[in-house]
């Protein structure tokens, strides 16, 4: 007797599956094919092999400028944000549960605000004429004339880095606090009996046992940094010159401003491979045995 298959569970997952196929799987496959094609707005498609990679990546100096800016931005932003999140989470963990909840909300709420809004606020702060940052520095007599934060090739990229560093690492704090709550208290009690002070306990017990959480945050923050788009688009449009041009905005401009969809797809594929390689390296050198806390 043949077993009757109940299709009810499959009907429940069908909407999510269709959404995945239409809005994720198909665009990915289409972009992969476009990387090897010359696509015109008239609908004409011509296979060009690796020409898009040669013209849009290897021989394109703007792409390498954007890659250099993206790497510098990531090198500064990622470790500082993760480290600051760890320090703040450690301080909050010493508080009572009631105050922990207050601080969790205070640090996490800025993370749910639209990046467009946050970028516009920072653009106002960096305004050379009436921005708050210049006004404070002038009042404190730390500078004698306004600094062109976003209009100078010297200050534009550091300004974006400063914005990223000073933004609240809410997600990192929440994850670290959750991980710390799962560390057995007996480890600290044993360390205290052995004469270890609080800093030694934090360095020898807390930090190693947060390794998997740190790995997750490093990987996710690296991916986010290499895909930074909104801040650049709203605040500088990649300027002045190419001082703040990043890879993700460059891909966007190539596709929807220059209509070079093949080159944009090739650059996107290269960006994906770079992010994948960095993530694998992070997993290889940071991962330790054990499950995520």
Angle between helices 61-93 and 97-108 (to 10 degrees): 160
How do residues 178-201 score in pLDDT, each as one tens digit? 999 999 999 999 999 988 898 999
Q: Do residues 226 and 274 touch, judged by C-beta distance below 8 A?
A: yes
The predicted pLDDT at position 292 comes to 40
Question: In the prediction, which pLDDT does 50 show?
Answer: 93
Residue 39, SS3? strand
Residue 114: per-residue pLDDT: 87
User: pLDDT tens, 2-33?
Assistant: 677 778 888 999 999 999 999 999 999 999 99
Between CA 248 and CA 225 the distance in angstroms is 10
pLDDT tops 50 at residue 291 = no
In the predicted structure, residue 216 carries a pLDDT above the cut 60 = yes
- CATH T-level assignment (fold) for domain 60-286: MetI-like fold (1.10.3720)
Q: Please report, for the chain, the start and end positions of each structural domain, with discontinuous segments joined by +.
A: 60-286
**For residue 293, what pLDDT is reported?**
41
Q: Which of 286, 257, 253, 282 is nearest to 267 (CA)?
A: 253
**pLDDT tens for residues 240-270?**
989 999 999 999 999 999 899 999 999 999 9
Instruction: Tell me if the pTM is above 0.85.
Output: yes
pLDDT confidence of residue 1: 54
Q: What is the pLDDT of residues 163-181, one digit of tens each?
A: 999 887 888 999 999 999 9
Q: Say what the pLDDT of residue 261 is.
A: 92
Give me the helices (H) in the chain, please: 8-20, 26-34, 51-53, 61-93, 97-108, 115-125, 132-139, 156-166, 170-180, 185-193, 198-201, 207-209, 211-226, 230-235, 247-256, 261-286
pLDDT at residue 2, as a whole number: 60
pLDDT for residue 223: 94
């Amino acid at each position: 007797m043949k077993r009757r298959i109940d299709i009810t569970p499959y009907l429940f997952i069908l909407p999510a599956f269709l959404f995945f196929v239409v809005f994720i799987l198909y665009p990915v496959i289409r972009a992969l094919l476009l990387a090897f094609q010359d696509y015109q707005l008239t609908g004409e498609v011509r296979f060009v092999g690796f020409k898009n990679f040669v013209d849009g990546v290897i021989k394109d100096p703007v792409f390498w400028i954007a890659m250099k800016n993206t790497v510098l931005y990531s090198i500064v932003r990622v470790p500082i944000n993760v480290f600051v999140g760890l320090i703040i989470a450690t301080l909050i963990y010493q508080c009572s549960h009631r105050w922990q909840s207050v601080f969790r909300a205070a640090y996490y709420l800025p993370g749910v605000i639209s990046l467009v809004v946050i970028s516009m606020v920072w653009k106002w702060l960096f305004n050379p004429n009436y921005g708050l940052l210049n006004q404070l520095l002038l009042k404190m007599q730390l500078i004698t004339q306004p600094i062109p934060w976003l209009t100078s090739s010297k200050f534009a990229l550091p300004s974006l880095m400063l914005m990223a560093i000073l933004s609240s690492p809410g997600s990192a704090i929440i994850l670290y606090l959750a991980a710390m709550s799962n560390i057995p208290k007996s480890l600290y009690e044993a360390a205290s009996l052995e004469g270890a002070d609080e800093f030694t306990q934090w360095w020898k017990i807390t930090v190693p046992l947060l390794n998997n959480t740190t790995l997750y945050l490093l990987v996710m923050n690296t991916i986010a940094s290499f895909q930074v788009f909104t801040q650049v688009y709203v605040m500088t449009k990649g300027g002045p010159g190419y001082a703040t041009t990043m890879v993700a905005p460059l891909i966007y401009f190539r596709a929807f401003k220059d209509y070079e969809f093949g080159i944009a797809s090739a650059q996107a594929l290269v960006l994906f491979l770079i992010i994948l390689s960095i993530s694998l390296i992070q997993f290889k050198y940071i991962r330790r045995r054990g499950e995520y806390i």
